[in-house]
Amino acid sequence: MQLLVSAIIFILGSAIGSFISVVIYRLQAKKKGIIAGHSMCPSCKKQLKWKHLIPIFSWLFLRGKCAYCNKKISVHYLLLEVLTGTLFLVSFIHWNFLISIPSIINPQFLNYSIDWNIFATLAFYLVEFSFLMAIFFFDLMHKEIPDQLSIPAIVIAIAGILSFSPVMQTGINMLIGGGIIFLFFFLQYILSRGTWIGGGDLRLGALMGILLSWSTGGFSGWLVGILGLVIAYLIGGLLSVILIIAKKLNHKSTIPFGPFLVIGTVTAIFFGQTILNWYFNTLLM
């Protein structure tokens, strides 16, 4: 059962990743009907058949080329499907809602039940992770974070977290967590007049703070949020140094920061409490 559900979750994630690719293309092209409409080749504009839309496998079978015009299909389609499927699978492993119950007649035979609270938590994070993956790739490809992605993600995050926890305390935590990171980016935005970070980063920072404010491991949510920021800056700085050494960047080059914020957010969600425990119990002993 565990293996079957894992496979279903991965397939669902890869399908969502395929859908996100369509959303990114239509948002960037400013096409009407972001969700509705038929998928087509961006080069020859021919409508794709169902067999061209199977996540992961279609790209591999077509060898990254359009079935009609033979133009190359960007590898980001494959990466988005694989990474989203993998993120969904890791999320299921982290929030496994299946409860195994040995049979009274034969203990080797297992019955399964569902923990609906954990299931709801998983569903909430899968929705938020879908938005984060869309933000990651849109900013990576177009150096922009559209409000059509960040604002709905913020609204869903607030509504979801408030539905899981006591409203008063949770609301205060979200204000503190989201406010600290938003203010941190806002000051950079003002001081640099928008050259260091963009307006999209402000909203992504707020989303990051809100998501990480929901702390369940003993540490304050704002502290987990700061950890997410540290992770984002460390990875961003390290990659920048590597690219400069490899002469892929120079001191005038700009790289989108949104993907690093997404990585920091996801890492802090999964491992934030563990990292903070290790830091305070080991390094500060």
Rounded to two decimals, what is the model's pTM?
Answer: 0.87
pLDDT at 233 (0 to 100): 92
Closest by CA to 228, choosing from 188, 275, 189, is 275
How does DSSP classify residue 280?
I
Q: How confident is the model at residue 262 (pLDDT cuts 50, 70, 90)?
A: very high
Q: How confident is the model at residue 39 (pLDDT cuts 50, 70, 90)?
A: confident
Alpha-carbon span 55 to 82, nearest angstrom: 8
- Residue 166, class by beta-carbon neighbours within 10 Å (0-12 exposed, 13-18 middle, 19+ buried)? exposed
DSSP-based three-state secondary structure for 47: strand
Task: Tell me which long-range contacts 233-236 makes (C-beta under 8 A, separation of at least 24).
Answer: 233/260, 233/264, 235/260, 235/263, 235/264, 236/260
Closest by CA to 206, choosing from 175, 190, 182, is 182
Of 25-29, 45-49, 75-79, 272-276, the poorest mean pLDDT is in: 45-49
Of 34-38, 219-223, 279-283, the poorest mean pLDDT is in: 34-38
Closest by CA to 54, choosing from 18, 7, 84, 6, is 18
Give the residue-averaged pLDDT of 248-273: 86
Closest by CA to 202, choosing from 190, 227, 185, is 185
Q: How confident is the model at residue 108 (pLDDT cuts 50, 70, 90)?
A: low
Give the residue-averaged pLDDT of 75-102: 91
pLDDT at 26 (0 to 100): 86
CA angle 188, 194, 196 (to 5 degrees): 55
Q: How confident is the model at residue 139 (pLDDT cuts 50, 70, 90)?
A: very high
pLDDT at 104 (0 to 100): 67
**Domains of the chain by residue range:** 1-114, 132-285
Alpha-carbon span 235 to 233, nearest angstrom: 6
Helix, strand, coil % (nearest 5) of the chain? 65, 5, 30
pLDDT at 106 (0 to 100): 62
Hey, what amino acid is at 269?
I
On the question of pLDDT at 276 being above 80, the answer is: yes
Alpha-carbon span 219 to 276, nearest angstrom: 8
CA angle 124, 128, 131 (to 5 degrees): 150
Average pLDDT of the chain? 84
Alpha-carbon span 283 to 276, nearest angstrom: 10
